[in-house]
């Protein structure tokens, strides 16, 4: 099938995060299309809508086919303007809101920004506290405070511990610590003994592993040509840490082909931590 070029617009009264998340999950189901993406967040006046309408029409003319428009717009007078453009609109609110009204026996509030905004005043503090915890306990710092950790990620250098901890903190408000497994740990105990500081908190540990080839690639970006980045060293460290995880029954995950979002969701699912999705 030949490559199509299409334009997609994400329209929202507020951040546009919902429209983008939903549209993206639908469009990734289609191959062989090159997408030109236009974000129009904070679309809160008829004048702004008029400008977007023109932009849509220009894209339709340029592409030779009408753009797809994903909308979470709440105000009918703004949506009306967009409907006059040459496009196919997928309206996330109108599509579902009537059936939900029916089910809940009440009209919806038609107030923008409830999802990512005002309501989250309290969760803000919880998330900030979690981020502060993650930063204060990154890379094995302050292991004496591991009692307060909800989870402790472990793995060799560049196995993805820090970004995953930050994501768990920001998105789910979870106090996530991490502890690096080092070549010193490995050399000190070929028999794969868990570092002493981790033994009292073993139940909170979760291991991150990946293919030696990917670790080699990631480390080479940082220190090209080094012993640290060599494929042989990477393979040895990975083999050692996986045998450690297995020996101590530490749950672990191969992150080679998955995103930070997926890694985080899988960790929450397997460890039984309560999910609290914010944002």
Q: Tokens representing 239?
A: 């083999």
- From 54, 40, 32, 31, select the one nearest 8 (Cα to Cα): 40
Binding string, residues 135-164; x marks residues near a copy of itself by CB under 8 A: x--x---------------------x-xx-
Taking the least distance from each CB to a copy of itself, the nearer of 71 and 154 is 71
d(CA 151, CA 195): 17
- Which range binds a copy of itself by CB under 8 A, 28-36, 47-55, 179-187, 239-247? 28-36
- Which range binds a copy of itself by CB under 8 A, 54-62, 109-117, 143-151, 178-186? 109-117
Spatial CB neighbours of 74, under 8 Å, sequence gap ≥ 6: 13, 93, 110, 111, 112
Sheet architecture: strand order including 4-11: 33-40, 4-11, 68-71, 88-91
Binding string, residues 236-265; x marks residues near a copy of itself by CB under 8 A: ---------------------xxxxxx-xx
- Give, as ranges, the residues between 160 and 219 that touch a copy of itself (CB under 8 A): 160, 162-163, 166-167, 170, 218
Q: Tokens representing 196?
A: 């002493």
- Give, as ranges, the residues between 36 and 75 that touch a copy of itself (CB under 8 A): 39, 41-42, 66, 68, 72
Q: How many CA atoms lie within 13 A of 113 on its CB side?
A: 9
Taking the least distance from each CB to a copy of itself, the nearer of 14 and 204 is 14
d(CA 161, CA 179): 8
Taking the least distance from each CB to a copy of itself, the nearer of 244 and 263 is 263
Residue from 7, 18, 159, 233 in contact with a copy of itself (CB under 8 A): 18
d(CA 208, CA 164): 10
Residue from 51, 54, 96, 232 in contact with a copy of itself (CB under 8 A): 96
Least separation in angstroms between CB 232 and a copy of itself: 22
- From 161, 159, 125, select the one nearest 141 (Cα to Cα): 161
- Angle 121-124-126 from CA coordinates, rounded to 5°: 125
221 binds a copy of itself, rule: CB under 8 A: yes
122 binds a copy of itself, rule: CB under 8 A: no
Q: Tokens representing 159?
A: 């196995």
# residues near a copy of itself by CB under 8 A: 82
d(CA 173, CA 231): 36
Taking the least distance from each CB to a copy of itself, the nearer of 36 and 189 is 36
- From 160, 127, 188, 128, select the one nearest 262 (Cα to Cα): 160
Taking the least distance from each CB to a copy of itself, the nearer of 184 and 221 is 221
22 binds a copy of itself, rule: CB under 8 A: yes
Least separation in angstroms between CB 201 and a copy of itself: 24
């Amino acid at each position: 099938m030949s490559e199509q070029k299409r334009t997609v617009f994400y329209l929202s009264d507020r951040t546009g995060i919902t429209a983008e998340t939903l549209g993206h999950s639908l469009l990734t189901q289609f191959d062989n299309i090159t997408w030109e993406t236009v974000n129009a967040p904070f679309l809160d006046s008829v004048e702004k809508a008029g400008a977007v309408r023109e932009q849509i029409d220009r894209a339709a003319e340029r592409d030779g086919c009408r753009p797809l428009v994903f909308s979470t717009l709440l105000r009918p007078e703004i949506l009306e303007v967009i409907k006059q453009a040459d496009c196919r609109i997928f309206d996330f609110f109108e599509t579902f809101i009537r059936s939900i009204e029916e089910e809940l026996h009440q009209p919806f509030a038609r107030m923008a920004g409830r999802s990512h905004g005002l309501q989250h005043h309290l969760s803000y503090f919880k998330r900030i506290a979690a981020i502060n915890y993650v930063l204060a306990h990154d890379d094995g710092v302050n292991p004496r405070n591991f009692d307060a950790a909800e989870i402790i990620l472990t793995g060799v250098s560049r196995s993805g511990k820090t970004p995953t901890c930050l994501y768990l903190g920001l998105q789910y408000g979870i106090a996530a610590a991490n502890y690096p497994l080092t070549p010193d740990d490995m050399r000190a105990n070929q028999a794969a003994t868990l570092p002493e500081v981790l033994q009292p908190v073993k139940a909170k540990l979760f291991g991150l592993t990946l293919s030696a080839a990917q670790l080699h690639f990631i480390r080479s970006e940082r220190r090209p040509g080094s012993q640290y980045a060599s494929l042989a060293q990477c393979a040895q460290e990975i083999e050692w840490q996986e045998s450690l995880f297995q020996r101590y029954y530490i749950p672990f995950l191969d992150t080679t082909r998955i995103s930070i979002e997926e890694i985080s969701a899988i960790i929450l699912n397997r460890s039984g931590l309560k999910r609290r999705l914010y944002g």
